[in-house]
A and B are shown apart, each in its own frame.
Chain A
Amino acid sequence: MKHVVFGAVSALALGLGAAQAQDYPTKEIQGIIQWGAGGSTDTVMRAVTPHAEEVLGGTVVMQNMTGAVGAIALNYVADAEADGYTVLMGAENPMLYKIMGLGDKDYSEFTPINILARGTPLLVANSDAPFNDYAEMVEYVKAHPGEVRFGATGPGGLPSVITAMINTIEGKLDYISVPYDGDGPALTALQGGAIDVMPAVLGAAIEGVRAGNMKPLAVFDVAPNSKLPDVPAVTSFNDGYNTYLPWGPFFGVFVPNGTPDDVVAKLSAAYSEGAKNPDFVELMDNRGFTLMGISGDEANQFLTKWQQGTAWLLQDAGETKASPEEFGIARPAN
């Protein structure tokens, strides 16, 4: 009798366990956004999640958790239970934490649910700057060492990667790098003339370019962008960039490693379906983001390749605190 009861209870428990994974989500999911309200990551996540919720049949409560270049949010989700009820909504930065001495965790501790989209870098200048395209700028900086002011967003930010590329390919340029806390404030300073040149993600600068408040020097991609077809790709000025491009910041949704497979599958399906919503597609296209919508192995491969390329580029430019080798980040094959 005892055995029967025990059996029944354990069967019930097992059944419950299975039912729980199947019924996921049974409660609200907490979505931790790595960056502040109103930023690109925030906007992208708040735009896609309602569509994903519809597919998922659950609620995702989004919360901004800022500080320490996103490391606070990353650590919070990494320490949370791996049950799919705490999700990280982040950008590319954590991939460089280790080599920049900002933290000891990166996305290798996470399972990618969906890498939603990738941004294209654009080099813009103040509309009164004495150069009109990328080649003229390089020439001007070489002729006037220590005069041109470049905006930056701190170690590991997009501008630091782009200037590392420029320094690697054109030889070390002598310019002043002025740090801002984000590309928004830096682009504001560019329009006010406090800085002369700014590498920014295309989406952040495109409206300013359209209005003629800043001038585009080059798109950092292998081909011109359909949103700004008149702006030449940087590879048309120098072939050398083909080694590093296309490169760009990205946005993704992650859960900690160890999350049950079926939960990962359900979340992935929800986000890849949600990202196909025409409203979201149009919104991303307007801002010049390239939709990716990859998950699983494909996403892992993308992350590895991105990390190897970027980490070694920064290492060779002498901008890292610790060598990628220490963390087992292999030098890219080419």
Chain B
Amino acid sequence: METLLAFLTVFTHPELLLLVGVGTFAGVYVGAIPGLSVTMAVSILISFTFSWDVHPAIALMIGIYMGGVYGGSRTAILLNIPGAPSAIATALDGYPMAQRGEAGTAIGVTTVMSFFGGFIGIAVLAVAAPFVSDFALKFQPRDYMLLAVLGILLVGSLSTGSLLKGIFAGALGIAIGAVGRDPLTFTERFTFDLKLMEGGISFIAVMIGMFGVSEALMQLHHVNKAAVRQKISRIVPSFSTIRKYLPLSLQTSSIGVIIGALPGTGGDIAALMAYDHAKRVTKSPEVPFGKGAMEGLVAPETANNAAVGGAFIPMMTLGIPGDAVTAIMIGALFIHGLNPGPMLMIDQPDMFWFIVGALVMANFFMLLFGLTGIKLFTRIVEMPRAVLIPLIMLLSIVGAYAVNNSISDVYWMLGFGVFGYFMRHYGYPLGPVILGVILSRLLDDNWRRAIISEREDLGRFFAGLFSSPLSTILFLSVVLIFVSQTPLWTRAKARLARKAA
């Protein structure tokens, strides 16, 4: 009974309801603007809500978080500029849809599927949090490393055209991610003794430049082409559409929850892995992937919103943040006089249920705000290019500056923008670069931790791979996926098929 009351706190207090709503609304727009991140918004809110009670403060933060993760998809679909790293995969198929005049449908599907994914994440948090966190703790450095390798194999999925160029782009991304003082030994890497490089290259600046500025430069090629008229007659997807994607979205939501619950990986990696999964399991999409496949929208959007619930799992059960936003929320709970940690669920179960309730509410608000105002948004793409291109540039500059309030990030952003433009021009895919930057540290740090833990002994390292079922499964998946991408496998499969026939 008390549990139910705690869960219903948000629903029965109008001011909390309002705060979740305001937070979600603001989150959608903060998330949509590249460079304005949820992490930043939530950390500003800590000071802003300092004198408030804990419940309203957390309610507002949860709203922003939920809305922000979803909001990133808006600009990804409409402008090919992901508003947040977790929306990178969304741009791959969302933007081609917008170019065909189907932005309304794309946003509609994205919204409903985000809602679905968010709901799965919250449900897992509510019923299985202790089990999932136990499972997440089992991940050893070598498992994180294998996960990163698994991620790097996505290069194949993200490259349209030449795989070789895709691999080059991915490697470049990994190198960009390694610039700066190495976080484990503090040694400088690829800094050329420049103070500017010491802190590393801001990942967000790279992303905004590669997607935003290079997109604006590409658009300059056809300034005079008339903008595509957007069809916005049917926004909410039909029930049969939703049912069609239900099995896929259940799978990608599970990926989202698990990746979200792992401390050290978040919605960005979850969305990319889900995209790859969708590409693998969808045998015959109506539209090919990369050209506007619906599956390519469903997968990342369910996964990144499911990762929200996932990120709360280690936070609520162990006091360990699942991602950057939950790390700040732990700080907020602490400032408000609570002791976030493994005892929180035992001492104050109310807080847990209150958060679950607020998440449910935020999820509903997200659906509401996502489905309204689409008409206004699609106007953006219908604008003449003479207005649109400067707008993209302006957003990119503001976004890059806002990350660290540093002007050098703006220069990085512009530099990578021009570089990205030439990469596109010569048929190098940009997705793998970003993938490389995201995975660079996960791979590098954990490989070193894993091998240091085994006293730098490769034999012991490989023996370790087979000492735990988790590592074995991950290792075998890496091998299988790798082999399945080689010509040898395709030939063997063809021969088997012929024999069977």
Binding site for B on A (CB under 8 A): 36-39, 42-43, 46-47, 49-50, 62-69, 71-72, 75, 100, 102, 146, 149, 154-156, 176-181, 184-185, 187-189, 191-195, 206-208, 210-211, 213, 279, 282-283, 286-287
Q: How far is the CA of A36 from the CA of B198 in the complex (A)?
A: 17
Contact of B263 among A68, A71, A188 (CB under 8 A): A188
Quote the shortest CB–CB distance from A213 to chain B (angstroms). Answer: 5
Quote the shortest CB–CB distance from A195 to chain B (angstroms). Answer: 8
Contact of A213 among B141, B331, B342, B405 (CB under 8 A): B342
- Check A50–B43 contact: CB distance below 8 A: no
- Check A207–B343 contact: CB distance below 8 A: yes
Contact of B453 among A42, A67, A178, A185 (CB under 8 A): A178
Quote the shortest CB–CB distance from B481 to chain A (angstroms). Answer: 25
Asked whether A211 and B343 contact (CB < 8 A) given A46-B47, A185-B263, the answer is: yes
Q: How far is the CA of A36 from the CA of B330 in the complex (A)?
A: 13
Q: Which of A43, A102, A180 has the most CB of B within 10 A?
A: A43
Interface bin, chain B: 35 or more
Chain B residues with CB below 8 A from A213, complex form = 318, 342
B399 at the interface (CB under 8 A from A): no
Q: Could you list 24 A-B pairs, sorted by A, with CB under 8 Å?
A: A37-B324, A38-B321, A38-B331, A42-B43, A50-B51, A66-B199, A102-B181, A179-B184, A179-B449, A180-B449, A181-B445, A184-B327, A188-B314, A191-B318, A192-B137, A192-B138, A193-B140, A194-B141, A207-B340, A207-B343, A207-B344, A208-B318, A208-B342, A282-B337
Chain B residues with CB below 8 A from A181, complex form = 183-184, 445
Q: How far is the CA of A71 from the CA of B186 in the complex (A)?
A: 11
B341 at the interface (CB under 8 A from A): yes
Chain B residues with CB below 8 A from A100, complex form = 186
With both beta carbons as reference points, the residue of chain B lying nearest to A102 in the complex is identified as B186
Q: How far is the CA of A67 from the CA of B453 in the complex (A)?
A: 26
Quote the shortest CB–CB distance from B439 to chain A (angstroms). Answer: 16
With both beta carbons as reference points, the residue of chain B lying nearest to A103 in the complex is identified as B198
Chain A residues with CB below 8 A from B318, complex form = 188, 191, 208, 213
- Check B334–A287 contact: CB distance below 8 A: yes
- Check B141–A46 contact: CB distance below 8 A: no
Contact of A67 among B199, B346, B449 (CB under 8 A): B199
- Check B181–A63 contact: CB distance below 8 A: no
Quote the shortest CB–CB distance from A227 to chain B (angstroms). Answer: 11
Chain B residues with CB below 8 A from A210, complex form = 341-343
Quote the shortest CB–CB distance from A287 to chain B (angstroms). Answer: 7
Sample of 8 more A-B contacts, CB < 8 Å, known A36-B327, A38-B43: A46-B335, A68-B181, A102-B186, A155-B186, A192-B138, A194-B449, A211-B342, A283-B334
- Check A184–B185 contact: CB distance below 8 A: no
Q: Which of A36, A155, A194 has the most CB of B within 10 A?
A: A194
Q: How far is the CA of A50 from the CA of B47 in the complex (A)?
A: 8
Chain A residues with CB below 8 A from B405, complex form = 63
With both beta carbons as reference points, the residue of chain A lying nearest to B200 in the complex is identified as A67
Quote the shortest CB–CB distance from B331 to chain A (angstroms). Answer: 4
- Check B47–A49 contact: CB distance below 8 A: yes
Binding site for A on B (CB under 8 A): 39, 42-43, 46-47, 50-51, 137-141, 180-181, 183-186, 195, 198-200, 263-264, 314, 318-321, 324, 327-331, 334-335, 337, 339-344, 346, 404-405, 445, 448-449, 452-453, 455
Contact of A37 among B51, B331, B453, B455 (CB under 8 A): B331
Chain A residues with CB below 8 A from B343, complex form = 207, 210-211
With both beta carbons as reference points, the residue of chain B lying nearest to A64 in the complex is identified as B43
- Check A188–B337 contact: CB distance below 8 A: no
Q: How far is the CA of A146 from the CA of B330 in the complex (A)?
A: 36
- Check B186–A43 contact: CB distance below 8 A: no
Chain A residues with CB below 8 A from B200, complex form = 67
Asked whether A207 and B319 contact (CB < 8 A) given A37-B43, A181-B445, the answer is: yes
With both beta carbons as reference points, the residue of chain B lying nearest to A282 in the complex is identified as B337
- Check A286–B339 contact: CB distance below 8 A: yes
- Check A208–B181 contact: CB distance below 8 A: no
- Check A178–B452 contact: CB distance below 8 A: yes
- Check B455–A146 contact: CB distance below 8 A: yes
Quote the shortest CB–CB distance from A323 to chain B (angstroms). Answer: 18
Contact of A42 among B51, B139, B331 (CB under 8 A): B331
Q: How far is the CA of A185 from the CA of B445 in the complex (A)?
A: 12
Chain B residues with CB below 8 A from A189, complex form = 140-141
Chain B residues with CB below 8 A from A185, complex form = 263-264
Q: How far is the CA of A227 from the CA of B253 in the complex (A)?
A: 42
- Check B46–A46 contact: CB distance below 8 A: yes
Q: How far is the CA of A286 from the CA of B347 in the complex (A)?
A: 15
With both beta carbons as reference points, the residue of chain B lying nearest to A155 in the complex is identified as B186
- Check A62–B47 contact: CB distance below 8 A: yes
Q: How far is the CA of A211 from the CA of B320 in the complex (A)?
A: 13
Contact of B50 among A37, A46, A102 (CB under 8 A): A46
Q: Which of A39, A46, A66 has the most CB of B within 10 A?
A: A46
Q: How far is the CA of A177 from the CA of B459 in the complex (A)?
A: 19
Q: How far is the CA of A36 from the CA of B39 in the complex (A)?
A: 11
Contact of B331 among A43, A67, A68, A279 (CB under 8 A): A43
Quote the shortest CB–CB distance from B226 to chain A (angstroms). Answer: 44
Asked whether A178 and B449 contact (CB < 8 A) given A46-B47, A188-B263, the answer is: yes
- Check B198–A67 contact: CB distance below 8 A: yes
Q: How far is the CA of A178 from the CA of B142 in the complex (A)?
A: 13
- Check A149–B453 contact: CB distance below 8 A: yes
With both beta carbons as reference points, the residue of chain B lying nearest to A40 in the complex is identified as B331
Q: How far is the CA of A144 from the CA of B206 in the complex (A)?
A: 47
Quote the shortest CB–CB distance from A219 to chain B (angstroms). Answer: 18
- Check B341–A207 contact: CB distance below 8 A: yes
4 smallest CB-CB distances across A and B, nearest first, come from: A207-B341, A67-B199, A38-B327, A211-B342
